Amino acid sequence: MSPESSPSAAELIFAAVSDALASGRGKPLVVGICGSQGSGKSTVCETLTTRLRQSGLSVANLSLDDLYLPLAERVKLSEAVHPLLRTRGVPGTHDVALGMKTLDALSRMETVHLPRFDKASDDRRPQREWDTVAGPAQLVLFEGWCVGARPQSDAALIQPVNELEATEDADGRWRRYVNASLAGDYRPLFARIDVLVLLAAPSFDVVLKWRMQQEHALRAQVQQAGGSARGVMSDAALARFIQHYERLTRHTLEEMPDRADLVIRLGDDRSVAGWRNSTIA
């Protein structure tokens, strides 16, 4: 099927969750959207939110990125466990308890504060700057690069997958901590997902290209606006940064397609190249 005749990722997700939304659930439907960096998760969620709200539904957006631990806490973690944990991103650098608390609040009739993280300052925004939604929500779009991911086997952790692991995690302590976090605290958070969607990149090799496209666009926007380039990474810094995500991204692309409710295969240009929807009998 050509990209011109394929439905969009947002349309496919809308179709996958429509029946569940129509069933009159007593709690929010949590749709987990997993996809590598640069795969278009945020854009898909924005499109979905607009369409769903136009249909009269109460929708909340929660990004795994907005659950990052504050910088000061990651610094402590880097000193106590491993220096690489100062860098946000991998399991073990999120406030899982805050995620659970937010999902719980979204099921109640109250004003819910949605956490927000400022990547420019690499720190959590003060609560007065968080978005708010009126609960209870009928649907929660929970997106992130490793949302719903499962840990690897101990044997899979032995060999480094890139230069970062080989030189900065030679003894495997960082990747074992990340894997243990995924097997521990993250399990109850990801268990809250009712419908799991995977935006599957054709391979990890395209992820750096996608992420550089995003960073170059951001750099151009900042320059055009005459603002500070603080928080915008150079190509070299970005190439190193991506290596933090490589192991788990490759693992997810291998194991998640067999269990996700909806798998959307993306082409090199992020267009929909194919899909499998197991939510439809």
| CA pair distance 128, 14, nearest whole angstrom | 32
| CA pair distance 123, 125, nearest whole angstrom | 6
SS3 153: coil
Average pLDDT in the chain: 92
What is the residue extent of each domain of the chain?
A: 9-269
What fold characterizes domain 9-269? Rossmann fold (3.40.50)
Sheet with 139-144: strands ordered across: 59-63, 139-144, 29-35, 195-200, 262-266, 272-277
* Residue 1 clears pLDDT 60, i.e. is over it: no
Q: How many CB atoms lie within 10 A of CB 74?
A: 19
Q: Tell me if the pTM is above 0.85.
A: yes
Report DSSP letters for 70-122, one per residue. Answer: PHHHHHHHHHHT-GGGGSS-STTSB-HHHHHHHHHHTTSSSEEEEP-EETTTT
Q: pLDDT class for 215, splitting at 50, 70, 90?
A: confident
Over range 135-146, report the average pLDDT.
96
CB contact at 8 A, 48 and 262: no
